Structure 1
Amino acid sequence: MRKPRDFDSELKALTDKARQLKERKVHQLGELVIATGADDLSVEQLAGLLLAGVANKDAAAKESWSKRGAAFFQRADNAAGNAGGNQGSTPSGDSSATPPRAQTGTN
């Protein structure tokens, strides 16, 4: 005879997993803000910058941002690979890796 499913424990497990994923996302967004040097901006400036980016419908601008972001992560991957001597151990799609803080020269 089959054991009945415990829907309450399954729901609790799924709720816990969703909470963990949300916390991880928030943590990674914070790491990204720090890695890009955007933590030097005020909260109002950062929020305004993000809102302007979301509201921008220019496909060319978004493509340019994507290329610039990809280059940022490529530099971060290369720096992590060269510094640690462990090149290729972290796949570039793994968002749990924290890239080094970006150098801020001219803006």
Structure 2
Amino acid sequence: MRKTRDYDAELKALGDKARAIKAKKVQQLGELVIATGADALDLDILAGALLAAVESSSADEREAWRAKGAAFFQGRGRKTGQRAGGNGEGAKQTGAGEA
């Protein structure tokens, strides 16, 4: 005879997993705000800057922000090369290929 599935338990497990993922995302966003120094900004200014970024339709502006963000993460990868592992090496290879 076939074992019946406990749909309630499966839904609860999925809900718990979704909550954990959301909590991790919120934590990472908070860490990003702190790492960039944006935590020193007034909340209204930070919210306004984020809203302007979301509302921006300029591809050039978005590309400039993307490049600046990528440079920020590559710089952090080099500083914490021991902890970051692959990120530190990837940043060095990218830098060596460009030079």
As a proportion of its length, which structure holds more helix?
Answer: 2
Q: Percent identity?
A: 55
Q: Tell me, which stretches of 5 or more residues in structure 1 are unaligned? A: 93-107
Q: CA RMSD in A?
A: 1.2
State the partner residue of 1:71. Answer: 71
1:22 aligns with 22
Deviation at 1:87, TM superposition (A): 6.4
Q: Which has the higher contact order (CA 8 A, sep 6+)?
A: 1
Q: Show structure 1 runs of 4+ deviating over 4 A.
A: none
2:4 alignment counterpart: 4
Using the size of structure 1 for normalisation, the TM-score is: 0.77
* Structure 1 Cα separation of the partners of residues 44 and 84 of structure 2: 38
- TM-score w.r.t. length of structure 2: 0.84
Greater Cα radius of gyration, structure 1 or 2: 2
Question: Kindly tell me: are residues 55 and 11 of structure 1, through their superposed partners in 2, closer, same or farther at Cα, counting changes over 3 Å?
Answer: same
Q: In the TM superposition, what is the alpha-carbon distance from 1:88 to its structure 2 partner? A: 5.5
Q: Secondary structure of the equivalent of 1:5? A: coil
In structure 2, runs of 5+ residues without a counterpart are 88-99
Structure 1: how far apart are the matches of 2:64 and 2:7?
47
Distance, in Å, in 2 between the alignment partners of 1:87 and 1:7 is: 41
